[in-house]
Amino acid sequence: MAKAISYMRFSAVHQGKGSTLERQQELVDHWLRNNPEVELSDLSTEDLGKSGYKGEHLKHGLGRIRASIESGLIKPSDYILVEAIDRIGRLRPLKMIELITEVVEAGVTIVTLEDNTYYTEESLSGAGGSLYILVGKVQQAHEYSKNLSRRVAGAYEKKRRLARKGESIKKVLPFWLNSDGKLNEN
């Protein structure tokens, strides 16, 4: 029986509304219900707040998955389930293509749950254009993270400049906290 390895990542800083982990788990559960011949592996992992842009995830969740493929714990015909291809990482596009190629050449299928795309050696080598689409997706993910990093760094630099001048700095708190840091009861 084939196994599915659930690989979930989220950034603690950019979670937005709702629970990213919950959403990803719902996608995994839905896929497993539609694929009853596949069971969820104990090797499933998460990278909570590990940067897929800087490669920190390669020492944690994705690194463990790669080591498990190399050691044979994850076998050909197994699946890696991710919300979207950018959950694998947001490294430079050539590095991302190399990582994905390493996985699919081992016979492991990457399934992106949000668009139900199956990445295999065959699908990426075929004439259907899957490789072109994949390259576009990894380029877009890398550029998004690069631009976001630049914007965040610029915002913090502006706050440091204002603080040096003695001006007040606006802090944005989550909606559930009052300005004094206590839980908002409303």
pLDDT, tens digit only, all 186 positions of the chain: 777 767 665 443 334 445 777 888 888 889 999 999 988 888 766 655 555 655 556 666 777 888 889 999 889 999 988 888 888 877 889 998 999 999 999 999 999 999 999 999 999 998 888 999 999 998 888 787 777 767 877 777 788 887 888 877 777 777 777 777 777 776
Q: At what angle do helices 93-105 and 130-164 cross, to 10 degrees?
A: 140
- What are the tokens at 165? 């001048």
pTM for the full model?
0.72
- Closest listed residue to residue 14, CA positions, set 151, 161, 131: 151
